């Protein structure tokens, strides 16, 4: 039998028990972001001439791939012919990275570009989260949020 004096203590103890669920994703540190960004840009450098983007699959958020039924299909990922990588800047949200690079689409004239990436974390691993769904006709998608010529010098 529970005494009335013990009832408030019992209620407080029950309310203090944490709700069980998925642990929150830990915050990414600068090194994780920089390493992921560098490795991804380097992968685009090596694979930008490929006919499909399967070489970039490991960098793409598994949830995005599943949502758009791309887990087993060949990927039509837009790639930038990255050459020099000048810098990365991490936004305050720690999920957005601004990259300044040279691209080499025309070997005679490299172009400085800014590439904006959105990151996600899935089961403790960093991935890219494309901003848009694949094009309905071509199935092609861009792994970045924005790619544009840069005035950065």
H or E, element range at 40: helix 30-47
Provide the residue range defining the domain that includes 69: 27-149
In a domain, 2, yes or no: no
In a domain, 67, yes or no: yes
Strand pairing class (111-122; 76-77): unpaired
Predicted TM-score (pTM) of this structure: 0.78
3-state SS, residue 93: coil
Per-residue pLDDT of the chain (153 residues; tens, 9 = 90+): 455 454 444 444 444 444 444 445 577 889 999 999 999 999 999 998 887 789 999 999 999 999 999 998 889 999 999 999 999 999 999 999 999 999 986 667 789 999 999 999 998 899 999 999 999 999 999 999 999 987 765
Query: Cβ of 11: how many Cβ atoms within 10 Å?
Result: 10
pLDDT value of position 3: 52
User: What does residue 94 show for φ and ψ, rounded to 5 degrees?
Assistant: 60, 15
Check which CATH number belongs to the domain holding 82 and give it: 3.10.450
In a domain, 15, yes or no: no
In a domain, 19, yes or no: no
What is the distance between the alpha carbons of residues 153 and 150, in angstroms, rounded to a whole number? 8
What is the distance between the alpha carbons of residues 121 and 74, in angstroms, rounded to a whole number? 23
Number of domains composing the chain: 1
In a domain, 34, yes or no: yes
In a domain, 57, yes or no: yes
């Amino acid at each position: 039998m529970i005494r009335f004096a013990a009832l408030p203590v019992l209620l407080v103890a029950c309310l203090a028990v944490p709700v069980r669920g998925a642990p929150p994703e830990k915050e990414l540190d600068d090194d994780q972001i920089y390493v992921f960004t560098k490795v991804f840009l380097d992968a685009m450098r090596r694979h930008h001439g490929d006919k499909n983007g399967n070489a970039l699959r490991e960098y793409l958020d598994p949830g995005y791939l599943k949502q758009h039924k791309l887990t087993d299909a060949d990927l039509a990922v837009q790639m930038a012919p990255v050459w020099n990588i000048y810098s990365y800047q991490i936004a305050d949200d720690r999920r957005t990275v601004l990259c300044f690079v040279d691209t080499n689409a025309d070997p005679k004239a490299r172009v400085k570009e800014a590439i904006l990436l959105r990151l996600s974390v899935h089961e403790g691993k960093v991935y890219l989260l494309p901003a848009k769904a694949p094009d309905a006709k071509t199935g092609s998608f861009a792994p970045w949020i924005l790619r544009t010529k840069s005035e950065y010098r």
